[in-house]
Amino acid sequence: MGLRLRKNDTVQVITGDFKGKTGKILKVVPEKRKVIVEGINIVKRHTKPSPKNQQGGIVPKEAFINVSNVMLVCPKTGKPTRVGVNILADGKRVRVSKKAKESIE
């Protein structure tokens, strides 16, 4: 089963240290069921000096978070919602907010 979340979707963290925070999805890895959310799950990466990064040091960056720990924010209601899929008459699949019962696209 594929993921119902996509890049640039706004999601809210529903469990863990960052519970309640919202952010935009920057990257999705469907095979591992993980996403990177802007400003969420910040880790510190220790880097050596290199031609690209002359200084080196400690660089903060976002780490992956499991898809089960985030929920899509409904564009209409502004609250977290489950995502369903409806098939239109022409055979096209569209994502639907379960809370507002309206298309997300």
Q: Are strands 42-47 and 10-13 parallel, antiparallel or unpaired?
A: unpaired
Write the pLDDT tens digit of every residue in 38-54: 999 999 999 999 898 88
Q: Is the dihedral of CA 13, 15, 18, 19 positive or negative?
A: positive
Q: Which CATH number fits domain 10-74: 3.40.50.300, 3.40.50.1820, 3.50.50.60, 2.30.30.30?
A: 2.30.30.30
Q: Is the dihedral of CA 79, 37, 102, 32 positive or negative?
A: negative
pTM for this one? 0.84
Cβ atoms 71, 61 nearer than 8 A: no
Place of tokens 């095979």: 31
Write the pLDDT tens digit of every residue in 65-84: 999 999 999 989 899 999 99
